[in-house]
Chain A
């Protein structure tokens, strides 16, 4: 368990720096199994910050989400740094954003926070109902959840997100400040979920996606929450010219989801935020996981692991497989 006092102290030090203008972390939510992202601008707000397994959101998303509206004449933009908390997976998002030159390394101050897993609210609600826990912590190989004064221990796979069960990067890959000690890697990723899905015939796969995509309401929460979806104007919502219609039907929905997953090939760092936020429970990561494995197997490329790397699609290796070229 991360010491909240240490976390707040280090956050306070970062936000007190003259060259830092905001800090992104987590605070208690108003209900349920998830914390709320917190954007603080003043040291006095640091006492709101928390870290525990309910801190699911990826703070990296809020670095690129910040809008830069036109400023009145004579007003200079505030170019000071942004402080950002990062779990292992979050740090991969930060790295990938920098690999793509979304911003420079000295734009951010990273407060790394080793993580042993975060709660999947769907799993937790299934087990415990529509309640708000008093305490959630990971103890050994169990997750301890206290509700209404009663402590319950459950297995990690019963309440943690799928990404955590195969997490190879529980420790932040970059950090300027570290909170707590490093933790041990939890598991390896054998892509058994992709193997399992690939057992389906093309017809079964199409039937599956037809059902899932027809549920989509195109709220674009999956796109907006994605730390890698930071284009100033998304091709899908572009009006002039309009590539994807605004009408919501199977055809346009399918086009949207395939477009998005292709644009994430070699870029998705598997934080699973897209799937977490989907109000229609569409298993979006099933698409991304397949691309992640292909990218890894074909090009030995793993996005968001090396700040010095080039983006996959801008790098060329004479050894790259090219069976698909006639």
Chain B
């Protein structure tokens, strides 16, 4: 694998070079917020690399869009027209954070489980992840507690480090190598001093992570709290909105709806959330999760107990978005810490 550098001021040139062979997605400034999107002429401006620690919406929306047409249909002769994305397309995601890339590896398990989901999987296959190491993590970040870290390159194809005037690039996979070769005329060779600067940055960034949680024992403990009043201290102030789940890079629930016009229509799927009342409402009107207590319990237990039981990995990467954006300070670290401290009486 190879390493390179390029001048930071030449980012747009670099993305232009990439765009010759790839559809390029990057963090964009969209009416005040940073969100990943396709880089297009006349579209929203590129966010500066130090404009964001974590984008407001995680880049999961690139592989799993909030609203996605599965197929279209027409009355009469038209039949159905599937909208499965092309696995052979070449898409580059520039500036993704290590935690958000790690989330893809977690969601892979779900979308490749009993029914391999071609919509997610084809996009995943066609996407090259050019990650950007964090140099100033948020006060709500806790990635180091979940096997990640601000400079973790394990789930990336190319890792980038912002060294001030220069960006250091290191290829991690063959996919990443191929991409760098396609723009090699825009890259310069790196020197050992660059590597040293990156290593220093890694150490410094990890030391800036202020929050942590010891996840030992949590997957086993949460089911024991199923009927415990424990959850009320959090659900009493829960608004029941979709912020924590929609902005979670590993939340992956969706609803499927038919949208019918007069002569044609589409079947589409859109993000859904276990925090909404209608998520578990049965056709009969009965709701097995009747209040926000059960819904709060489900969100936390799914991430920290059910998912690890089914797939062997906690469905959280510590990006901190659910903490940062929660309007009522429901803090998942706080919940987990308190869950460990609760004493549960043995049955009988």
Which A residues form the contact surface with B (CB < 8 A)? 29-32, 34-39, 57, 61-62, 65, 67, 69-70, 130-132, 211-212, 215, 217-221, 223-225, 237, 239, 245-249, 273, 276-277, 279-281
Quote the shortest CB–CB distance from A318 to chain B (angstroms): 41
Which B residues form the contact surface with A (CB < 8 A)? 30-33, 35, 53, 56-57, 66-67, 138-140, 211, 236-237, 239-243, 246-247, 255, 257, 259, 268, 270-271, 273, 276, 278, 290-292, 323, 325, 327-329, 331, 333-334
With CB as the reference atom, state the residue of chain A lying closest to B30. A215
| Bound CA–CA A36/B240 (angstroms) | 15
Pick the residue among B211, B239, B259 that contacts A65 (CB under 8 A).
Answer: B239
Quote the shortest CB–CB distance from B302 to chain A (angstroms): 18
Contact of B33 with A215 in the complex, beta carbons under 8 Å: yes
- Which residues of A are found within 8 Å of B31, using beta-carbon distances? 211-212, 215, 281
| Bound CA–CA A127/B192 (angstroms) | 38
Contact of B239 with A30 in the complex, beta carbons under 8 Å: no
Quote the shortest CB–CB distance from B23 to chain A (angstroms): 20
Contact of B255 with A246 in the complex, beta carbons under 8 Å: yes
Contact of A247 with B331 in the complex, beta carbons under 8 Å: no
Which of A36, A245, A273 has most chain B Cβ within 10 Å?
Answer: A36
Quote the shortest CB–CB distance from A122 to chain B (angstroms): 9
Contact of A280 with B291 in the complex, beta carbons under 8 Å: no
Consensus secondary structure, chain B interface:
loop
Consensus secondary structure, chain A interface:
loop
Contact of A221 with B257 in the complex, beta carbons under 8 Å: no
- Which residues of A are found within 8 Å of B67, using beta-carbon distances? 247-249
Pick the residue among A30, A221, A249 that contacts B243 (CB under 8 A).
Answer: A221
If A32-B139, A130-B138, A247-B257 touch, whether A280 touches B331 (CB-CB below 8 Å) is no
- Which residues of B are found within 8 Å of A31, using beta-carbon distances? 139-140, 211, 323, 331
Contact of B325 with A70 in the complex, beta carbons under 8 Å: no
Nearest first, the 7 A-B pairs at minimum CB distance are: A36-B329, A277-B327, A219-B242, A221-B241, A39-B236, A224-B239, A69-B290
- Which residues of A are found within 8 Å of B327, using beta-carbon distances? 57, 221, 225, 273, 276-277
| Bound CA–CA A171/B242 (angstroms) | 33
Contact of A217 with B237 in the complex, beta carbons under 8 Å: no
- Which residues of B are found within 8 Å of A212, using beta-carbon distances? 31
Contact of A219 with B246 in the complex, beta carbons under 8 Å: yes
Contact of B328 with A219 in the complex, beta carbons under 8 Å: no
Quote the shortest CB–CB distance from A196 to chain B (angstroms): 17
A–B pairs, 12, beta carbons within 8 Å = A31-B331, A35-B329, A57-B327, A61-B239, A130-B138, A211-B31, A215-B30, A217-B271, A224-B240, A224-B241, A277-B327, A279-B247
